[in-house]
Amino acid sequence: MDPSALPTAGNCFIAACKAREVLNHVSNRWGGLVLGALLERNLRYSEIRDRVGGISEKMLAQTLDVLERDGLIARTSYPVVPPRVEYALTESGRALAERFIDLFMWIGTNVETFASAQQRYDSQRDSA
């Protein structure tokens, strides 16, 4: 699809567009992984942290906050002792997470192709 054919209201190619802001939130290092982690079921904070290897507490908190603000996840706090909070995908979040899972699966299926390309590239750079 030609990027110029996209509607102005939701065109990620326009710097000031709200769609670009959301794209940045979900395509950064952690956004898509958090969405993907929530696809199977609702999770508590520690379960998401355990599922998304390498994410710091600070980045997880920031990512959850921004995804909630974008309407992609919902946070439910239960009035129990000790406090319990769960995160779930909204309808929009689920639709987006399913697309990320497709992307993750495609990348996983083709990881050897990427590894070979990286080796070729590195060999050419090293010999130059």
Over the stretch 59-114, which tens digit does the pLDDT of each residue have? 999 999 999 999 999 999 999 998 899 999 999 999 999 999 999 999 999 999 99
Question: Residue 43 in contact with residue 87, Cβ under 8 Å?
Answer: yes
Among 4-13, 50-59, 90-99, 114-123, whose mean pLDDT is lowest? 4-13
What is the pTM assigned to this prediction?
0.86
**What's the pLDDT score for residue 127?**
85
Provide the token pair at 17: 């567009």
Q: Where do the domains of the chain lie, and which CATH numbers do they carry?
A: 3-127 (1.10.10.10)
Phi, psi at 123, each rounded to 5° = -65, -45
Helix (H), strand (E) at residue 69: helix 57-69
DSSP SS3 for 74: strand
Q: Is 54 left (phi over 0), alpha (psi -120 to 50) or beta?
A: left
